[in-house]
A and B are shown apart, each in its own frame.
Chain A
Amino acid sequence: MTAVVTATGLTKRYKSSLALDGASFQIGAGRIVGLIGPNGAGKTTALKAILGLTTFDGQLSVLGLDPRKDRGKLMEQVCFIADVAVLPRWLKVRDAVDFVANTHPRFDRAKCDAFLARTKLQPGQKVKQLSKGMIVQLHLALVMSIDAKLLVLDEPTLGLDILYRKQFYQSLLEDYFDEEKTILVTTHQVEEIEHILTDLMFIRDGKIVLDTDMDSLGERFSEVLVGSELAAAARELKPLDERQVFGKSIFLFDNVSRPQLERLGEVRRPSIGDLFVATMKGTYA
């Protein structure tokens, strides 16, 4: 696979803390990668490094460019939505489209107009008159009309209601994503992006602690519902995590053969949320 992002030993030190601690990872073209981590784990710093918004140590290549040196050139190929509501409040919908159309060489105005036609946005409205959901619709319409190779999303649906959140990811999948494009997304609402991800990365204390594609995730991790009589046997297989539900125990296993687990009880694929909680145990302690 051709790598869109290659990071080796990515390190970023703020005055008192280490935001990135030698993180290394690779993101291939045509993937949708979820970068998941607890608050303060270094997600946003990693994204800022990729976007050339911050200095760092280590090697990082994005589309073959060094984001520290070639930011201007890089941003023709890379788009990002950082949080909702970063559009300037004084900007009018019409002016936003005009501005991007005239400053971005890869912007397709007709596409943008078509996206906007599907919303309730009026050309004369200012951003400050829009609801959070509408701002994100505008931002998404602008970004989806740019033919970029890499789209970076940092908590893009924070504070939106479920209708907007669903619509957001649906539009991305249906109208934007193809094998030429790569999406890197961070979010806390893991369960909502679970089904659209092709790859998953967990980040903790500035290190990548899990980096896998979704197919091998199902092979590697299993969740088993075990009755109390077999719980002791299950514990001997060194589960990652154990929790109690209705008098039964749910065990989470990493790399334990399936037949072995099937003898203990019902085996299923763990949700990313459960896997995340098990991996990050003790983070805030």
Chain B
Amino acid sequence: MKTFYWLVKREFWETKGGFFWAPVVTGIVFLVLNGMGLVLGEVFGRRENPHWWGGLRFGGDAQLQAHMRPEDLQQVAAGVDIMFYAVAGVILCVTAIVIFFYCLGALYDDRRDRSILFWKSLPLSDTSTVLSKVASALLLAPAIAVVVGVIVALVLGILIAIVAAIHGVGVWSLLMASHPIRVVVNMILLIPLYAIWALPTVGWLLLCSAWARGKPFLWAIALPVGAGVIVSWFGLMGIAGLSSNWFWKNVVGRLLGSLMPGGWIGNTSSLAGLDDDNPASLVKGMDLAFHYSALASPALWIGALAGAAMIAGAIWFRRWRDDT
């Protein structure tokens, strides 16, 4: 267990740039862009109404706040929660891209620069080495992204609250009525589902990374896409009765695209689904029961099994592929 901890730590040392700095920088860029947007709004607002007291118009809402009924406040607070989710989602998307390339390099880069010979000189089993990379990709990286995402969302919320306060509008109570902690907990609790869902992609990329003698990226993309093209071609000729759409969605898509957050939504149960289109029900869209209902779909488990098998293959290749 201690060894495993240090193996994951090693992965973090190596990919600090991707796992930590990429979401942080994305977050900062996001905040700067939003800040610029706010300033722009101020400036334009002043130009249009030189005699008016402010830039951005919060007027209508200010009225709304004072006399807001509790259920309305709840709706607006739910909107704030959705903003939290959305911002964290943006950061998670960036991390998903990072994880994609991390997996492609994880078992290839050290063979290319021959540092595998150093790692292999230590009493580390290939199984724990590969599993530490799986854990880094599926648990560590998403966890960092979620935390960074929610911090960015909070800062954004505070920025907006400050601008609103300048205009004499108090949205603090709104922020207080939102649930940043619930958002964090929800998203952290969604990571296991994300991990199960993303297994086929991570397994496939690690397998290519462990197996390819060169250009793992090309192999990882070319093999499934090539297979898809062939299936479509046969499909066009009407042979074998295969639906090529099915193949693209369930094989190619799952091998290459399962790292995209929320990919499992199509597999959730309609019983747990959404009913209305107001913010509060959208927040219900982040309800754990709704998401975890995807666990009832066989497609998810078939994908996970395939992913586990490919990880086992990656372990085998890791054992016997050397630096040549």
* Contacts from A to B (Cβ < 8 Å): 48, 51, 53-55, 71-73, 75-76, 79-83, 85-92, 95, 98-100, 102-105, 139, 143
* 4 shortest interchain CB distances as A-B pairs: A88-B115, A75-B123, A82-B117, A76-B123
What residues of A have a CB within 8 angstroms of the CB of B9 in the complex? 99
What number of A-B contacts does a CB cutoff of 8 Å give?
A: 70
CB-CB contacts below 8 Å: B1-44 with A: 2-3, 6-7, 9-10, 13-14
User: Which of B110, B113, B122, B320 counts the most chain A CB atoms within 10 A?
Assistant: B122
One of B14, B114, B124, B319 near A103 (C-beta < 8 A): B124
- Are B115 and A103 neighbours in the complex by a CB distance under 8 Å? no
- Are B124 and A86 neighbours in the complex by a CB distance under 8 Å? no
* Contacts from B to A (Cβ < 8 Å): 2-3, 6-7, 9-10, 13-14, 110, 113-118, 120-125, 319-320, 322
A185: min CB distance to chain B, Å: 15
Q: How distant is the Cα of A195 from the Cα of B124 in the complex, in angstroms? A: 35
Q: How distant is the Cα of A103 from the Cα of B116 in the complex, in angstroms? A: 16
Given contacts A95-B13, A99-B6, A99-B10, A86 and B117 within 8 Å (CB-CB): yes
User: Which of A48, A88, A98, A104 counts the most chain B CB atoms within 10 A?
Assistant: A88
Which residue of the partner chain A has the closest CB to B3?
Answer: A103
B111: min CB distance to chain A, Å: 11
- Are A91 and B123 neighbours in the complex by a CB distance under 8 Å? no
- Are A53 and B120 neighbours in the complex by a CB distance under 8 Å? yes
What residues of B have a CB within 8 angstroms of the CB of A82 in the complex? 114, 117-118, 121
What residues of A have a CB within 8 angstroms of the CB of B116 in the complex? 86
Q: How distant is the Cα of A82 from the Cα of B111 in the complex, in angstroms? A: 13
Q: How distant is the Cα of A86 from the Cα of B14 in the complex, in angstroms? A: 15
One of A73, A75, A86 near B115 (C-beta < 8 A): A86
- Are B121 and A75 neighbours in the complex by a CB distance under 8 Å? yes
Which residue of the partner chain B has the closest CB to A98?
Answer: B6
- Are A102 and B6 neighbours in the complex by a CB distance under 8 Å? yes
Given contacts A53-B322, A75-B123, A87 and B3 within 8 Å (CB-CB): no
One of A72, A81, A139 near B125 (C-beta < 8 A): A72
A2: min CB distance to chain B, Å: 22
- Are A88 and B113 neighbours in the complex by a CB distance under 8 Å? yes
User: Which of A53, A79, A92, A95 counts the most chain B CB atoms within 10 A?
Assistant: A53
Which residue of the partner chain B has the closest CB to A85?
Answer: B114
Q: How distant is the Cα of A71 from the Cα of B315 in the complex, in angstroms? A: 14
What residues of A have a CB within 8 angstroms of the CB of B120 in the complex? 51, 53, 75
Q: How distant is the Cα of A104 from the Cα of B117 in the complex, in angstroms? A: 16
- Are A105 and B118 neighbours in the complex by a CB distance under 8 Å? no
- Are B113 and A89 neighbours in the complex by a CB distance under 8 Å? yes
B210: min CB distance to chain A, Å: 15
One of B3, B7, B14, B322 near A90 (C-beta < 8 A): B14
Q: How distant is the Cα of A175 from the Cα of B110 in the complex, in angstroms? A: 30
Given contacts A83-B117, A88-B115, A103 and B123 within 8 Å (CB-CB): yes
